[in-house]
Amino acid sequence: MKVLVIGSGGREHALCWKIAQSVKVKKLYCAPGNGGIAQSAQIIDIKADDVNRLVDFASQERIDLTIVGPEVPLVAGIVDRFLDKGLKVFGPSKDMARLEGSKVFAKEAMRRLGVPTADFKMFLDAKEAHNYIEERSTPLVIKADGLAAGKGVIVCKAKEEAHDAIKRIMEDNEFGLAGDKVVIEDCLIGEEASIMVVSDGKNFIPLVSSQDHKRIFDGDKGPNTGGMGAYSPAPVVEGENFKRSINEIIKPMILGLAKEGTPFKGILYAGIMITEDGPKTLEFNVRFGDPETQAVLPRMKTDLVELTEASIDGTLDKIKMSWDDRPCACVVVASGGYPGPYRKGKEIEGLKGASGIKDAVVFHAGTRVSEDGKIVTSGGRVLGVTALGETLEEAVKRSYEAVSKIKFDKMYYRKDIAQKAFAKKV
């Protein structure tokens, strides 16, 4: 069969890497792809948000299965467009993609369906938001309603910071239309983890747990990024906390949406905070996480193509999942200056040596092939250097050993990926 993956990041490289292992796949395409994806898929020069051209390409090439990586085309309704053309596509409808595309929609759905989350209030007017801040105790979390590349959530320890966040989002329009509405919510205290499930609208299958590292600097300091590393499993959400997360968060959401006549198909990603009172929902995403996917897929033994087809066909209850018990760690190597301004076009050396480390794989994110055939940087997050190990400590050690082989000007990475887990049993 012919498979198309849409997107260009580390998540999409991991998806292509896994899909290429399926005996069902005869031809793999990726639009627009990157320098690493080019090794396992034919690169198609169509941007991920160019829905019209993607639909035309899939129709003309008679693509048998399309997997959408990023949230932007999902929120734009790419799944509905593909289905209208009779094309098989993995992901939620435009209506259900609002669980990520609108913080207000997601929070109201959680409240309606009894999913535990922080208390919140929505605002359209900056002055009313400022007044509300004065009534509340800190810390508070200010969220731009729409998509903001993972940077529209601001944790405010003092009221001064909260007022500044409202100014940035609603008055200075730092995030454009995404900031027309804001959610102000209480700040949940605890440790964060991620659970992704595959849903066919009525059945769902959990993937193994993981934990992302959002902030740029060691010790979870500095501004938020798209993610500086991940590992799986995440001990904080294993055992009883995993069961509670499934039964109290995932199950009521999936079953509740189905009961309302708006079934959710695709990947439902729950960002969860493990509090003193148990798991509570920070957010929902409607696609594979990035970089969590890079830490989860190397552990998956099940054919990803069969899994996504079962989600589309409504037959997930017939799928038996199989996993590698070994933990996996992913260290993101970024361009110096990220998430602020950074330079592109830096030649990357040592990729072959890094990939030569036992049980290691280097997923490309912000890379491209230069005119003279070299791999160069083209984004903020450049690589996801990933490895399996008998223990999490061994997986992390291997990842950093692979990172040590890689060099490019001003490269940066966190040195503390998975440190939170080392005190816990894996």
Q: Looking at residue 426, what is its pLDDT? A: 42
Q: Looking at residue 424, what is its pLDDT? A: 62
Average pLDDT (217-231) is 93
- Gap between the Cα atoms of 285 and 97, Å rounded: 8
- pLDDT for residue 251 is more than 70: yes
- Gap between the Cα atoms of 288 and 280, Å rounded: 20
Percent of the chain beyond pLDDT 70? 99
Q: Looking at residue 223, what is its pLDDT? A: 87
Return the structure tokens found at 49: 């948000």
- Gap between the Cα atoms of 323 and 296, Å rounded: 10
- Gap between the Cα atoms of 126 and 116, Å rounded: 27
pLDDT digits (tens, 9 = 90+) for 15-36: 999 999 999 999 999 999 999 9
Using a 10 angstrom Cβ sphere, with 0-12 exposed, 13-18 middle and 19 or more buried, the burial of residue 361 is buried
Angle (nearest 5°) at CA 290 between 316 and 270? 55
Q: Report all structural domains of the chain as residue ranges with CATH numbers, in order of start.
A: 2-94 (3.40.50.20), 125-180 (3.30.1490.20), 191-318 (3.30.470.20), 328-421 (3.90.600.10)
Of 4, 195, 213, 1, whose CA–CA distance to 91 is shortest?
4
What is the overall mean pLDDT for the chain? 96
- pLDDT for residue 151 is more than 70: yes
pLDDT band of 9, cuts 50, 70, 90: very high
Percent of the chain beyond pLDDT 90? 95
Average pLDDT (74-86) is 98
